[in-house]
């Protein structure tokens, strides 16, 4: 069914975890995007390389598979070989609210981009939470400043808030409600069932889940996760090599207002 000229559909996928998540994405995304009639695809890639970080090769394959924008989070810094691509790519993002530093210590990349799909300009913003993570710049103030800067240039705006705290995610959602099309949470890898349209028209969900192995502990080997909990030893986590599922949300955005009319959770079990 062709897209409605008055609305735009955005498919946003949760953290890609390791080789199982990559396989599920590379094989399943093209058909899934067609079936859902998605105009725009956004995916969080910070865990795609063996569970921690992202490589240029995986990023390029994600884009070739139909992803328009790659967002990330605190693990984007794990693979230094991604730094040059972060610096040059228009559609590979790291959280915007890292410190602003000039000179040789400048942090590579940026946390926002504008993409055009169906002649519609969409602002994508990547932010990171501060609760149980690094003490970064205030994501609320950074987000508001970006929206003020670009609001007149875009028809829609989508925020990937990569954060650990539920109350921090909900607070940011309420602060940006009415100013963006959607605020979607990533990072915890567990899809929540609280998707809704907020009072002023922005779609919200605490976490869109992960694209990774289902029979696991947040994508990692079960035995190691259990042993870490029992012993409190900092054992190295490794990706569980099992069947993966694509998880995320499908948004429908009213282009006359830039606000959401629908948010639907997506779960698609891979066949590879």
Q: With contact defined as beta carbons under 8 Å apart, do 125 and 92 qualify?
A: no
Q: Is residue 238 a part of any domain in this protein?
A: no
Give residue 271's pLDDT band: very low, low, confident or very high (50, 70, 90).
confident
3-state SS, residue 85: helix
User: How deeply is 101 buried, as exposed, middle or buried, from its count of CB atoms within 10 A (0-12, 13-18, 19+)?
Assistant: exposed
Q: What angle do CA 134, 139, 143 make, to 5 degrees?
A: 150
Statement: residue 92 has pLDDT above 60: yes
Q: What is the mean pLDDT of the chain?
A: 96
Query: What is the Cα–Cα distance from 53 to 73, expressed in whole angstroms?
Result: 9
Q: Is residue 224 a part of any domain in this protein?
A: no
DSSP 64: H
Domain range enclosing 84: 7-212+243-269
Q: Is residue 251 a part of any domain in this protein?
A: yes
Q: With contact defined as beta carbons under 8 Å apart, do 83 and 138 qualify?
A: no
Q: Is residue 24 a part of any domain in this protein?
A: yes
161-201 pLDDT tens trace: 999 999 999 999 999 999 999 999 999 999 999 999 999 99
Q: Which residues are catalytic?
A: 75
Q: Is residue 189 a part of any domain in this protein?
A: yes
3-state secondary structure string across 190-231: CCCCCCEECCCCCEEECCCCEEEECCCECCECHHHHHHHHHH
- Residue 231: CB atoms within 10 A of its CB come to 9
Q: Is the dihedral of CA 147, 204, 171, 138 positive or negative?
A: negative
Instruction: Please tell me the total count of domains within the chain.
Output: 1
In Å, the largest CA–CA distance within the chain is 56
For residue 166, the domain's CATH number is: 3.60.21.10
Query: What whole-number percentage of the chain has pLDDT above 90?
Result: 97
How are strands ordered across the β-sheet holding 196-197?
112-117, 120-128, 156-162, 182-186, 203-205, 196-197
Query: What is the Cα–Cα distance from 223 to 86, expressed in whole angstroms?
Result: 34
Statement: residue 129 has pLDDT above 60: yes
Query: What whole-number percentage of the chain has pLDDT above 70?
Result: 99
Statement: residue 3 has pLDDT above 60: no
pLDDT of residue 108: 97
Q: Is residue 233 a part of any domain in this protein?
A: no
Query: What is the Cα–Cα distance from 53 to 41, expressed in whole angstroms?
Result: 20
Q: Is residue 220 a part of any domain in this protein?
A: no
Statement: residue 131 has pLDDT above 90: yes
252-270 pLDDT tens trace: 999 999 999 999 999 999 8
45-67 pLDDT tens trace: 999 999 999 999 999 999 999 99
Task: Report the pLDDT averaged over residues 105-116.
Answer: 97
Q: Is residue 222 a part of any domain in this protein?
A: no
């Amino acid at each position: 069914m062709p897209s409605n000229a008055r609305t735009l559909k955005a498919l946003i996928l949760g953290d890609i975890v390791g080789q199982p998540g990559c396989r599920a994405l590379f094989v399943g995304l093209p058909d899934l995007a067609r079936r859902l009639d998605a105009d725009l695809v956004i995916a969080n890639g910070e865990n795609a390389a063996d569970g921690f970080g992202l490589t240029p090769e995986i990023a390029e394959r994600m884009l070739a598979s139909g992803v328009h924008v790659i967002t990330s989070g605190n693990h984007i810094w794990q693979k230094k070989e991604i730094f040059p691509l972060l610096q040059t790519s228009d559609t590979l993002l790291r959280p915007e609210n890292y410190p602003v530093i000039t000179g040789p210590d400048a942090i590579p990349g940026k946390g926002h981009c504008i993409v055009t799909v169906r002649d519609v300009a969409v602002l994508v913003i990547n932010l990171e939470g501060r609760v149980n993570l690094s003490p970064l710049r205030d994501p609320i103030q950074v987000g508001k400043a970006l929206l003020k800067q670009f609001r007149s240039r875009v028809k829609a705006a989508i925020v990937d808030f990569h954060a650990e705290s539920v109350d921090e995610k909900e607070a940011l959602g309420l602060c940006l409600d009415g100013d963006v099309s959607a605020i979607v949470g990533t990072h915890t890898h567990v899809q929540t069932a609280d998707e809704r349209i907020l009072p002023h028209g922005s779609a919200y969900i605490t976490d869109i889940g992960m694209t990774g192995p289902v029979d696991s502990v947040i994508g990692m080997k079960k035995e190691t996760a259990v042993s870490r909990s029992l012993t409190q030893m900092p054992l190295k986590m490794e990706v569980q090599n099992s069947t993966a599922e694509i998880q995320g949300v499908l948004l429908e955005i009213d282009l006359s207002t830039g606000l959401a009319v629908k948010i639907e959770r997506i779960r698609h079990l891979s066949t590879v």
